A and B are shown apart, each in its own frame.
Chain A
């Protein structure tokens, strides 16, 4: 057989982007620590995010212990409770989920899925991780400074956030803001990489419409994050100036504990606008990568192409764009001009339509599929349940007048935990069970995985589904103890105790997961290159785990979309993206 160069066969010019000059590590340090290889950076990001996430998990136990059995745990006082919710919320949303989806999954999967050797700016990519690590360290340091971490709530609303009635006024809030500023700088460095890599480094034949939805999700989320994080940046810098140098960007004239402060004239609402201009897109920054991952998991494990791929792509783009014009639905009862309510309720409910389309397409993908109930598939199913549940309660809170009684109650807490807490976590777990074999070359243990799945899913559902009803009843959020309140029946305390027990069980199940990750690293079943029979490029690498530069000598060439499963007439039930069509095969082109 003669090897014919691709150009002659296909008539297309060679890759427009010159093969990247790869940076080659020279020592152990530059290979594993100060590495510029996106795969190593991805693992570093993931481990750091999960480590700090464990802290947030432990904090959630402590909060649940306090809520379930108020007064029993005397070491948790009201100000500590506030510190716990603040740190828990901030860590979960930003330092765990954002970092894990974009820095972890994004770094690992983007270059592999688009057929690149690495990110386009590897050095900046490495810096991104180290700045992120610094941000995490600064954040963790607040536990040890005098006064402890801030207790301002993860929304950090002024004036309260920087006054002495809130714990952590001395150091906590300052370090929190500093850490956020660092995080944003670090993220921007990484984000530039993810976006430009998708734009520039796709291999030959990889058109946008051939990208796996995971890449679409992460790409769109990154674009949104790049544009939304500056709002948090500006708000943090201004709040920091108010706190440290006495400016009055956000601080009105006020009397604190009988004392006139020197602030005056500022606008607390301005902060809220800036915060939510970031905060709402943030919800989708953790949701879109999850959407993408779930689409791919369902497709692979149901051995069926994703239903309505084009709609899925359009929906991702539409959601990304729309989510910049809904931010004030978090401010319906903030005292902003009431007429904004009409506009923001309408935009918010409109977003429900592309989101619903995604859900329909997931379940329609299952229809007449060949559903393998692997652990990733189970997580995908659980994602759909929790996401649909949380998305539907979002229709309550987005519909301005319904939000009036429900805002700032446990209904809100239940809603956002379902939709941006549990659902994305399901996607994270599903993704880890799915791609762990590629990262390590070994499978995670299936029995442990199933145990972990059922306890986590059913347990988390048992915590957060009933919680909605406490909110309906009128229990406000951020209360360390609802105490003696006439309208709250005694049975509500029992429900609280039940949710706390469920939370503890769910928490301990995570230890099983950690154990599984470590144990399988050494003892897991050998995975081979493509254990799930998947089509996308990351499963077609010459080595598993992929080597430095990912692809050996030649970059892969892409001949088809990422969802050729169970194609009629094909011998196997999947056709890899880089498998040439029959005509080209005959001419001697190899995959």
Chain B
């Protein structure tokens, strides 16, 4: 009796916890509402199965626990019941998988008008780069990294000269799809902004990507979601989503790669001249 009640209580408490939990996903700030919807569908289906199984079990314990003189039924199998249960399960699984795959298809199909943004991870900081006037990002390689060229841009690539190298946080215009190109120059990292829902690992030696459209303005915290060494938890940054106008005002103030290298070159020359 007591056991049956406790088992049932576990199921009831789980459901109540789910309903009243103050810990829930962050308010969404991207177009990936579909992902949230798929999670919700999954919660409904799995929640029902969970409760049904536990409640049935609790009932059995309550109804059939050992008493003097009780003898169990002899019932090796019931093909029909097993088939129905399998088919029902199959339908439930399909009901979760189908929306999942449809949304995944959207997730991996980048719209043609998405603007590119590059995020580079390294132990333990983030750097960002935007394509310049030509709309294209220059190539890069970890081999080119040096103190003058911390992002490892390919100096011979003309497309790279006008790339905008961002010195602190990333700004994005609201409502415009972005394709986030991800790379790393040392270990795996993962560019993770909970409000955007999307994330992807960054792999040294390769460029990965995901896309999304910011849907509301605000400041969002960037975390690293792939273990990258001791300071993994401290690898933070911010993404600031702004109205188009403010965004452009900010963009005006940013420097291109060429300008920055020149500046560095000048500084270096000055330093050399000083020390000579």
Tell me the complex Cα distance, A82–B233, Å.
Answer: 11
Contacting pair A339 B39 (CB below 8 A): no
The 8 Å CB contact of A385, one of B22, B54, B78, is B54
Within 8 A of A (CB), among B192-207: 192, 194-195, 197-206
- Residues in A with CB closer than 8 Å to B221 are 485-487
Tell me the complex Cα distance, A335–B182, Å.
Answer: 9
Within 8 A of A (CB), among B56-95: 56-57, 60-61, 64-66, 70-78, 81-82, 85-86, 89-90, 93
A543: interface (CB < 8 Å): no
Instruction: Pick the interface stretch among A15-23, A112-120, A157-165, A419-427.
Output: A157-165
The 8 Å CB contact of B204, one of A268, A366, A495, is A268
B169: interface (CB < 8 Å): no
Determine which residue in A303, A338, A409 has the highest number of CB atoms from chain B within 10 A of its CB, and name it: A338
Contacting pair A370 B71 (CB below 8 A): yes
Within 8 A of B (CB), among A456-487: 458, 461, 465-466, 469-470, 472-474, 476, 478-483, 485-487
- Residues in B with CB closer than 8 Å to A458 are 6, 10
A302: interface (CB < 8 Å): yes
Contacting pair A258 B147 (CB below 8 A): yes
- Residues in B with CB closer than 8 Å to A481 are 233
Tell me the complex Cα distance, A357–B39, Å.
Answer: 23
- Residues in B with CB closer than 8 Å to A487 are 26, 194-195, 221
B49: interface (CB < 8 Å): yes
- Residues in B with CB closer than 8 Å to A378 are 3
- Taken residue by residue from 304 to 329, chain A's Cβ proximity to chain B (1 for < 8 Å, 0 otherwise) reads as 11011111000000000000000000
Tell me the complex Cα distance, A78–B123, Å.
Answer: 15
- Residues in A with CB closer than 8 Å to B203 are 252, 268-269, 334-335
Residue of A nearest to B14 (CB): A465
Tell me the complex Cα distance, A160–B204, Å.
Answer: 11
Instruction: Pick the interface stretch among A99-107, A223-231, A340-348, A431-439.
Output: A340-348
B229: interface (CB < 8 Å): yes
- Taken residue by residue from 85 to 111, chain B's Cβ proximity to chain A (1 for < 8 Å, 0 otherwise) reads as 110011001001100110111011000
CB distance from A170 to the nearest CB of B (A): 15
A131: interface (CB < 8 Å): no
Contacting pair B224 A476 (CB below 8 A): yes
Q: A255-B152, A373-B3 are in contact. Are A366 and B61 (CB under 8 A)?
A: yes
Q: How many residues of B are counted as interface, with CB atoms below 8 angstroms from the partner's CB atoms?
A: 99
Within 8 A of A (CB), among B95-143: 96-97, 100-101, 103-105, 107-108, 122-124, 141-143
Instruction: Pick the interface stretch among B155-163, B183-191, B249-257, B260-268.
Output: B183-191
Tell me the complex Cα distance, A375–B210, Å.
Answer: 50
The 8 Å CB contact of A335, one of B23, B24, B82, B208, is B208
Tell me the complex Cα distance, A309–B89, Å.
Answer: 19
The 8 Å CB contact of B230, one of A151, A267, A311, is A151
Q: How many residues of A are counted as interface, with CB atoms below 8 angstroms from the partner's CB atoms?
A: 112
- Taken residue by residue from 225 to 240, chain B's Cβ proximity to chain A (1 for < 8 Å, 0 otherwise) reads as 1111111111000000
Tell me the complex Cα distance, A565–B71, Å.
Answer: 10
Tell me the complex Cα distance, A401–B42, Å.
Answer: 12
Contacting pair B46 A393 (CB below 8 A): yes
- Residues in A with CB closer than 8 Å to B53 are 359-360, 363, 384, 388
Contacting pair B194 A405 (CB below 8 A): yes
Tell me the complex Cα distance, A317–B239, Å.
Answer: 49
Residue of A nearest to B73 (CB): A368
Residue of A nearest to B142 (CB): A253
Tell me the complex Cα distance, A466–B25, Å.
Answer: 14
CB distance from A66 to the nearest CB of B (A): 11
- Residues in A with CB closer than 8 Å to B96 are 349, 395, 399
A153: interface (CB < 8 Å): yes
Residue of A nearest to B203 (CB): A335
- Residues in A with CB closer than 8 Å to B103 are 401
CB distance from A46 to the nearest CB of B (A): 28
A381: interface (CB < 8 Å): yes
Within 8 A of B (CB), among A472-507: 472-474, 476, 478-483, 485-487, 489, 491-492, 495
The 8 Å CB contact of B186, one of A78, A256, A363, is A256
- Residues in A with CB closer than 8 Å to B64 are 302, 366-371
**Interface residues of B, Cβ cutoff 8 Å to A:** 3, 6-7, 10-11, 14, 17, 21-26, 32, 34-35, 38-39, 42, 46, 49-50, 53-54, 56-57, 60-61, 64-66, 70-78, 81-82, 85-86, 89-90, 93, 96-97, 100-101, 103-105, 107-108, 122-124, 141-143, 145, 147, 152, 182, 185-188, 190, 192, 194-195, 197-206, 208, 219, 221, 223-234
Between A and B, 13 residue pairs with Cβ closer than 8 Å are A254-B142, A268-B204, A341-B108, A342-B101, A357-B86, A360-B82, A370-B71, A373-B65, A388-B50, A401-B104, A404-B198, A479-B232, A487-B194
